[in-house]
Amino acid sequence: MESHLKDDKEDSPPDVNIAPGVIHVHFSEEEEKKVVRKIDFVILPMVCTWQRQLVAEYPVIYLMCRLPLAKFVGITIILWGGTCMCLAAPTTFAGFGAVRFLLGATEGAVSPAFVTITSMWYRRDEHSTRVGIWITMNGLAQVLGSLLMYGIGKTVKSHIAPWRVLFLVCGALTTAFGFAFYLIVPTGPKEAWFLTKREREVLLARMAQDREGGDKANFSVLQMKETLMDVRSWFFFAFGILATMQSPVLTFASLIIDNLNYNRFQTMLFTSPSGAVQIVAIWVGVIACIVLPNKRCLVIIFLAIPPLIGNVLLLKLPLTNQWGLIVCSWLVYGADIKTQASCISDVMAILLSLSASNVKGNTKRAIVNTFYFIGYCVGCIAGPQLWKTDTAPRFFDGVVTAIVTWCLLVVAVGIYWYLCRLENLRRDQGNQGTRDQTSQAGEEDLTDIQDPFFRYSY
């Protein structure tokens, strides 16, 4: 299989040959940029929506492998939005807990699937930017959500409680988005309705350069066994835990600010800048990945410094320095149950881009992405146990745990970097670079271990 750039003046070649093991098409750099722009215009907005779900992750692995991914995700988002609206109905804790459990089950597929969709449509050097874009929606939702809650709480005069109105509004918007996702997002690059026939050829060829075979509707037991035996896969489970232990489901920034004796409306307003900090932090990370290509692990290590400093300051600043404590809370803790901490979102975006870039194989990719979000759920369950009202206002146990987990995350990322680099060196020394690097990648469902020409990003 051959795939390379060609001058615009040359004649356009015939249809791409996508027989097993063969993708032969010439395309210009301008053609490639045009294809990417169209994907950005259609696919990227569909994954730019903000996104608990431990029990749901296990069946999600199988369903993501067996069903057309885009349609499965669209249906899941519709169910998610409908369940969100149902949260406005319960009048007891038991009823609220039951609906909340169903909400987590319906959203369990969304984030792992978004990582897979990113890897299906974009090349590896584009992953950090595109994942950064859709993770940025966490920060935007933080800002808009806080302002929406403030507005509803201040202005809505109804027999329905303002928080119930909020669930109805957010649920309706999510459901509408789910229908749009189902109808707009194609099942794969070959079915990209928004591309011309020639542009689909270019898309298939450019993805073949990264050894990407697209979405396959099958579950491979062999790939599952390989995933369980591959130590790099388990690092993503560790990343999920370590990245969320310091930002679990409780509204910690709100908790800290509330303990500074601000009322609930002031707390809503003071926590909204946390979302803006998230957006800035994410794009600092993304730009760093662009400036330092193939240095993503190093970027993560540097991005761990601000929240480490923020946590230390939360322990050391005098309680009379209220604005200092508020700013530190923006650095290290999320203020909304749907968002990550301000300076965790940037790390999360790059970690997910590494998963998109470094895992091949339909089944293996689904399992590894789900590993990360199982770890995410474990961190969200374990973290709140260390935040108790009797430890206010310092919340010593929670802050110290955050410092320790940040340090452990730096160590884990460093080891992962070493393993990926070592494996690349081993493959390079095997004199395997003489064959066409894009051969046999179009239709075969090879994993990153099975494909000797695959190289890891780190």
SS3 2: strand
User: Does residue 24 carry a pLDDT above 90?
Assistant: no
How far CA 291 is from CA of 133, 229, 283, 295, 413, in Å, comes to: 17, 34, 12, 9, 19
Q: In the predicted model, what is the mean pLDDT of residues 341-347?
A: 69
pLDDT digits (tens, 9 = 90+) for 298-308: 999 998 888 88
pLDDT digits (tens, 9 = 90+) for 227-272: 999 999 999 999 988 888 866 434 455 555 555 555 666 656 666 6
**What's the distance, Cα to Cα, between the start and end of the chain in Å?**
27
pLDDT at 14: 43
pTM above 0.85, yes or no: no
pLDDT-above-90 percentage for the chain: 16
User: Does residue 102 carry a pLDDT above 60?
Assistant: yes
Of 72-76, 78-82, 266-270, the one with minimum mean pLDDT is 266-270
What is the helix (H) or strand (E) element at residue 4, kind and residue range? strand 2-5
Q: At what angle do helices 197-208 and 110-121 cross, to 10 degrees?
A: 100
User: Does residue 67 carry a pLDDT above 90?
Assistant: no
Of 66-80, 188-202, 335-349, 405-419, the one with minimum mean pLDDT is 335-349
User: Does residue 324 carry a pLDDT above 80?
Assistant: no
Can you say whether the dihedral through the CA atoms of 255, 259, 263, 268 is positive or negative? Answer: negative
pLDDT at 216: 64
Q: How many CB atoms lie within 10 A of CB 135?
A: 29
Reference 338, options 84, 47, 88, 141; nearest CA is 141
What is the secondary structure of 28-64 as a DSSP string? -HHHHHHHHHHHHHHHHHHH-S----HHHHHHHHHHH
How far CA 201 is from CA of 25, 85, 192, 216, in Å, comes to: 7, 42, 11, 18
* Cβ within 8 Å of residue 237, ≥6 positions away: 371, 372, 374, 375
What is the secondary structure of 60-73 as a DSSP string? HHHHHHHS-HHHHH
User: How much is the mean pLDDT over the chain?
Assistant: 77
Q: In the predicted model, what is the mean pLDDT of residues 328-334?
A: 61
pLDDT at 55: 52
pLDDT at 1: 40
Ordered domains of the chain (ranges, CATH)? 2-11+19-429 (1.20.1250.20)
**Separation of alpha carbons 21 and 366, rounded Å:** 23
Q: How confident is the model at residue 382 (pLDDT cuts 50, 70, 90)?
A: confident
pLDDT at 335: 37
Using a 10 angstrom Cβ sphere, with 0-12 exposed, 13-18 middle and 19 or more buried, the burial of residue 308 is middle
